[in-house]
């Protein structure tokens, strides 16, 4: 009995698609397309094996195995990429959480502290809370600037918890005195409870 040659056309198409799927299976996002190619190639390879059941099946089996291998690699790389993205997402979430916690810890103001501030004369600041006392208690302000108008020099200082999940701020204006001290002449706050 004489062996017929393998029917090669379907097996060659399956092999080409399988090799293409194998190559693309390593590329993120494109490997989704590679999975589709691998499935098509596996189906064609299986059909080629069935059609060649009485003939040599070497090319058909090789194309089928390469297709299955490509599909397995797609699943493995998808899992790897997903794991990496999850890891980065958790790290970013952790970093944001620790940043928010640090911002909250650095902001020492409370509503009671704010309410206890004595606002002096709006123009001169006479009788107001001294800036140095506040800096000692609450630390250096987040932002500070000075401006002069006529005989008066004003210092605007603000403390905030920028980066926190719930924004809070205290903005104070101080008027410079003849002795060089700064007395509170205006106050405002946001978010204190």
Assess whether pLDDT exceeds 50 at residue 2: no
Identify which has the larger pLDDT, 102 or 120: 120
pLDDT of 103 reads 67
Average pLDDT over residues 51-71: 89
Rounded distance, CA 78 to CA 29, Å?
A: 9
pLDDT of residue 1: 42
Residue 171, pLDDT > 60, answer yes
Closest by CA to 165, choosing from 183, 191, 189, is 191
Biggest CA–CA distance in the chain, Å, is 119
Query: pTM, whole model, 2 decimals?
Result: 0.53
Spatial contact of 153 and 181, defined as CB atoms under 8 Å apart: no
Residue 19's pLDDT is what?
Answer: 93
């Amino acid at each position: 009995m004489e062996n017929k040659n393998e029917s090669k056309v379907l097996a060659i198409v399956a092999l080409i698609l399988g090799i293409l799927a194998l190559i693309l299976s390593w590329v993120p996002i494109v490997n989704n397309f590679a999975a589709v190619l691998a499935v098509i190639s596996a189906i064609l390879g299986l059909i080629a094996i069935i059609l060649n059941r009485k003939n040599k099946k070497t090319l058909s089996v090789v194309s089928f195995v390469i297709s299955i291998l490509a599909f397995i690699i797609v699943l493995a790389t998808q899992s790897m990429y997903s794991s990496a993205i999850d890891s980065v997402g958790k790290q970013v979430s952790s970093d944001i959480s620790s940043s928010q916690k640090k911002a909250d810890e650095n902001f020492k103001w409370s509503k009671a502290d704010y309410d206890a501030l004595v606002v002096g004369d709006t123009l001169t600041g006479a009788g107001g809370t001294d800036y140095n006392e506040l800096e000692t208690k609450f630390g250096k302000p987040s932002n500070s600037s000075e401006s002069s108008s006529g005989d008066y020099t004003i210092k605007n200082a603000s403390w905030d918890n920028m980066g926190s999940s719930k924004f809070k701020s205290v903005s104070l204006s101080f008027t410079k005195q003849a002795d060089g001290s700064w007395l509170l002449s205006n106050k405002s706050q946001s978010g204190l409870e």
